[in-house]
Amino acid sequence: MRNNQAMSVRPHRIAVLALDQVVGLDLGTPAQVFSTAWGADDTSRYDVRVCTPGGLPVRSTAGFQVLPDHGLELLETADTVIVPGIHAGTALTDGSIQPEVTEALRSAYDRGARVMSICTGAFVLAAAGLLDGRRATTHWAYAQRFRRLHSRVDLDPAVLFIVDDRVLTSAGVAAGIDLCLHVIRLDHGSEAANRVARRCVMPPWRDGGQAQYIEQPVPKVTDTSTANTREWVRQRLHEPIALRDLAEHARMSVRTFTRRFRSETGLSPAQWLLQQRTDHARLLLETTDLTVDQIAHRCGFNTTAALRQQLHQRIGVSPTTYRRTFHLRPPHSPRDLALSVVDLPVTPSSPGQEVQDRRESGVGAERV
């Protein structure tokens, strides 16, 4: 993320701002995910606290009240501010919020804090003026209302999350977990994020550009699922893999496999494979001393240049810069995170781009 401050020895302070009718799961997500990111001495790298305007109780959508320990003053010292989703209030009806909430959010951002939203929390950030002129996302079901209230925001309701400098927004419910894991990955590397994902019993990575809603978000592993084939591929990333190989392993026609694969993952086979190769390359850069050329070939890229291009496109840095930042870093050592990272959605923008994706991912030339 651009212009991140160096991580200090003290835990990174996160303020979760709960407003009335806060979504229960969204409220609990930051504490559950970030508090599980432990350092070498088994202490959390993050200090997560909840606040409300005036430190007063607020109602949740889950039938309980939130009794906070802090008021808006918590935002004055927070390194990251997170606004969970809400299901009622003026932010959703007329695009306004309390002046003191606007002031607290803008002051936090102006002094350098990272600001995030989960689901309809984007309405709060937009009401505070923090999303004007930016790309942002929210739950797809609220997209029409959001556009009506906030025409100056470049809304993309088709993705899981968006990172725009120090302002991060995510789609509904589980996408908030994806965004929190992504932030841990930015702060501490893929290995740390993967450990948190294992503790939370969830997939370690869903790309921010993945579709929000797909036909089968959590597919069952059956004879008609592509899950077993995806696992088979993960064990063979170093090998050239053609689309027909995937279809044959799944015992489907190419056409049926492609359609079912996209319905289960939200991506084409070529896009998904390219993502897997890039993520594995990041892990090898962090945990091994292999050369960039060796890593490129172990991850199935046709050339070292293809790996460099994909890493730069996805996280904005070269393999050398990425390794210098994340390789075998002591958990509590200060480091500079001044990386230029922009999440680019993985979307098939044109037939030509699909062909390029297949070339770089190593998927064969059959039409996807």
In this prediction, residue 5 carries a pLDDT of 42
Task: From residue 201, give the alpha-carbon distance in Å to each of 33, 167, 204, 301.
Answer: 11, 27, 9, 30
Could you tell me the pTM of the whole model?
0.63
pLDDT tens column, 122-164: 999 999 999 999 999 999 899 999 999 999 999 998 888 999 9
Q: Residue 343: which pLDDT band, with cuts at 50, 70 and 90?
A: very low
Q: How many CB atoms lie within 10 A of CB 222?
A: 8
If one compares 226 and 325, the residue with the highest pLDDT of the two is: 226
Cα separation, 129 vs 106, whole angstroms: 8
DSSP designation for 49 = E
pLDDT tens column, 293-329: 999 999 999 899 999 999 888 777 789 888 887 775 4
In this prediction, residue 360 carries a pLDDT of 45
pLDDT tens column, 55-71: 999 999 999 999 999 99
Predicted confidence (pLDDT) at residue 97 exceeds the cutoff of 70 = yes
If one compares 351 and 133, the residue with the highest pLDDT of the two is: 133
DSSP designation for 212 = S
Task: From residue 271, give the alpha-carbon distance in Å to each of 205, 310, 347.
Answer: 14, 11, 8
Which residues lie closer than 8 Å to 170 by C-beta, 6 or more apart?
Answer: 116, 117, 118, 119, 137, 160, 161, 162, 176, 178, 179
Predicted confidence (pLDDT) at residue 366 exceeds the cutoff of 60 = no
What number is the average pLDDT over the span 203-224? 50
Q: Residue 223: which pLDDT band, with cuts at 50, 70 and 90?
A: low
Maximum mean pLDDT: which of 173-177, 333-337, 342-346: 173-177
Q: Are 95 and 129 in contact (CB under 8 A)?
A: no
Q: Fill in the amino acid letter for 337.
A: L
What number is the average pLDDT over the span 190-206? 76
In this prediction, residue 203 carries a pLDDT of 63
